[in-house]
């Protein structure tokens, strides 16, 4: 009996029940994969794991014996419950299918320790097996051979795609796969399951939404300004070091609540205009804005630009100082500061310091890269020069193995204003 369990990848178990019959196994069509064409820029992918989400003891099919594959008195049941399937075989199947379709994979599955190439991954892919149907036959069991097998199986897999830049699952889809092994072989059970998983993987590669997520957008897709033009009078740029008026600057940064989460934002006008990220406000029409003093006011979300991930909020006029807007770019190596509410509300108006690391273009969008620390909750907060003038808007960072990587991204402030159709000129009156 040890031979059975040695070759059954999914830890199948048998229990004595009468009247067991063969399960009906769904036959799944193989869809045509959408390959990555030569010369197309695609985001690097990392395959993380497969999780089996089935209750312990759930009947999934029949266990069969003898040349006629007669169902045993015991059904085939799932033993593993929510077991993580970490088999190298699953990883190998996934990589084979993706490499055949020219998808860029990173990470060495044979690495015993941390693999530096994993840092390159922008999207993480994981699968959750939510349904299994299988009939496994051991034709030679009458001769004491409980190793050689054949049979059929069906799998339903829910795929989740996690973006390191967005720090969230950005795409979910479900695919199916089926397999039938007619010839008795020592690896029969293993092949049945892996072949079904391979078909489910191929059908993921046939998903247009998944393909569009991986392929970087072409250069001809430009940002279009949102809504009617809004004119504001900007604050004259600070010339003294930020440390001279740090408390006033911190008071200009707010915490924004929309739904269950929170983010940051900052005033750009005395008339109550606030900038933040679109992913902070989501689809809300109104948000709660908490000032540095703890006072809470209602904010009206009047504009969003989802492509550039920026939003404009209007609140009642207050005595809070607006932050000045920097014209022009800083040099790589210049000092910068970020202010926001990382992780929890009791950490509001936290200040961190770093430098400009680089300027990057991702999906045809320009970003400032900096090692200044930002974390979830910092999104929408300002990036400031050494005098306290706004140069960017916090948007995302890369976390590797649960630890901030020091690679953080900010939307250039002029790009944010352009995306929201905001014009800032000292000669204009606030609208």
Domain that holds residue 243: 230-424
> Are both 9 and 80 inside the same structural domain?
yes
> Are both 184 and 250 inside the same structural domain?
no
Residue 154 lies in a domain: yes
Token pair 């020219």 in the structure block, residue: 102
Instruction: Kindly report the average pLDDT of the chain as a whole number.
Output: 83
For 276-288, the pLDDT digits (tens) are 999 899 888 899 9
> Are both 181 and 299 inside the same structural domain?
no
Q: What is the per-residue pLDDT for 174?
A: 97
Residue 84: pLDDT above 60?
A: no
Domain's final residue, options 160, 187, 214: 214
For 208-226, the pLDDT digits (tens) are 999 999 998 754 455 667 7
> Are both 162 and 275 inside the same structural domain?
no
Q: What is the per-residue pLDDT for 7?
A: 37
> Are both 204 and 306 inside the same structural domain?
no
The token duo for 156 is 């339903």
> Are both 148 and 7 inside the same structural domain?
yes
Q: What is the per-residue pLDDT for 14?
A: 35
> Are both 206 and 266 inside the same structural domain?
no
Which of 199 and 423 is assigned the larger pLDDT? 199
pTM: 0.65
C-alpha 289: how far from chain center:
27
Q: What is the per-residue pLDDT for 2?
A: 38
> Are both 39 and 149 inside the same structural domain?
yes
> Are both 154 and 248 inside the same structural domain?
no
Per-residue pLDDT band for 121 (boundaries 50, 70, 90) equals confident
Q: What is the per-residue pLDDT for 186?
A: 85
Least confident of 330-334, 357-361, 397-401: 397-401
Rounded mean pLDDT, 378-393: 94
For 23-55, the pLDDT digits (tens) are 899 999 999 999 998 888 888 999 988 888 888
> Are both 181 and 273 inside the same structural domain?
no
Q: What is the CATH number of the domain that holds 88?
A: 3.40.50
Residue 429 lies in a domain: no
Residue 290 lies in a domain: yes
The rounded percent of the chain whose pLDDT value lies above 70 is 87
For 253-267, the pLDDT digits (tens) are 999 998 778 899 999
> Are both 141 and 201 inside the same structural domain?
yes
Residue 219 lies in a domain: no
Q: What is the per-residue pLDDT for 256?
A: 92
Residue 27 lies in a domain: yes
Q: What is the per-residue pLDDT for 204?
A: 96
Domain's final residue, options 214, 248, 271: 214
Q: What is the per-residue pLDDT for 19?
A: 42
Number of domains in the chain: 2
> Are both 204 and 87 inside the same structural domain?
yes
Residue 337: pLDDT above 70?
A: yes
d(CA 246, CA 268): 16
d(CA 321, CA 390): 13
Q: What is the CATH number of the domain that holds 360?
A: 2.40.10.120
Per-residue pLDDT band for 68 (boundaries 50, 70, 90) equals confident
Residue 221 lies in a domain: no
Residue 365 lies in a domain: yes
Domain's final residue, options 214, 241, 262: 214
Rounded mean pLDDT, 62-75: 85
Rounded mean pLDDT, 102-117: 79
Rounded mean pLDDT, 231-249: 87
Residue 430: pLDDT above 80?
A: no
Residue 12 lies in a domain: yes
For 134-149, the pLDDT digits (tens) are 998 999 988 888 889 9
């Amino acid at each position: 009996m040890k031979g059975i369990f040695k070759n059954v990848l999914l830890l199948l178990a048998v229990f004595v029940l009468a009247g067991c019959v063969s399960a009906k196994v769904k036959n799944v069509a193989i869809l045509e994969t959408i390959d990555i064409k030569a010369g197309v820029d695609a985001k690097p992918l990392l395959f993380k794991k497969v999780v089996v989400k089935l209750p312990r003891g759930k009947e999934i099919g029949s266990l069969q014996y003898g040349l006629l594959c007669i169902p045993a008195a015991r059904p085939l049941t799932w033993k593993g419950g929510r077991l993580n399937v970490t088999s190298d075989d699953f990883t190998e199947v996934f990589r084979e299918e993706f490499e055949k379709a020219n998808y860029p994979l990173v990470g060495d599955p044979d690495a015993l320790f941390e693999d530096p190439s994993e840092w390159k991954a922008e999207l993480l892919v994981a699968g959750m097996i939510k349904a299994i149907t299988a009939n496994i036959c051991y034709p030679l069991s009458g001769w004491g051979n409980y190793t050689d097998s054949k049979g059929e199986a069906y799998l339903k897999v829910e795929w989740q795609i996690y973006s390191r830049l967005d720090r969230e699952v950005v795409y979910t889809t479900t695919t199916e796969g089926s397999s039938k092994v007619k010839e008795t072989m020592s690896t029969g059970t293993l092949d049945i399951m892996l072949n079904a998983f391979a078909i489910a993987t191929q059908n993921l590669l046939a998903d247009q939404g998944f393909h569009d997520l991986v392929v970087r957008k072409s250069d001809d897709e430009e940002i279009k300004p949102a809504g009617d033009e809004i004119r504001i009078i900007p604050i004259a740029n600070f010339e003294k070091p930020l440390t001279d008026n740090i408390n006033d600057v911190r008071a200009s940064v707010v915490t924004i609540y929309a739904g269950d989460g929170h983010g940051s934002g900052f005033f750009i006008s005395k008339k109550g205009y606030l900038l933040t990220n679109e992913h902070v406000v989501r689809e809300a029409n109104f948000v709660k804005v908490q000032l540095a003093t703890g006072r809470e006011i209602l904010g009206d979300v009047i504009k969003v630009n989802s492509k550039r991930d920026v939003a404009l909020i209007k609140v009642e006029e207050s005595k809070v100082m607006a932050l000045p807007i920097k014209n022009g770019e800083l040099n790589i190596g210049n000092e910068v500061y970020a202010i926001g509410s990382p992780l929890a509300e009791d950490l509001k108006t936290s200040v961190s310091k770093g430098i400009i690391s680089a300027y990057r273009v991702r999906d045809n969008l320009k970003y400032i890269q900096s090692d200044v620390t930002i974390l979830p909750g910092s999104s929408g907060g300002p990036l400031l020069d050494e005098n306290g003038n706004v140069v960017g808007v916090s948007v995302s960072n890369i976390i590797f193995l649960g630890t901030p990587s020091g690679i953080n991204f900010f939307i250039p402030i002029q790009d944010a204003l352009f995306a929201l159709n905001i014009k800032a000129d000292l000669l204009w009156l606030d609208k």
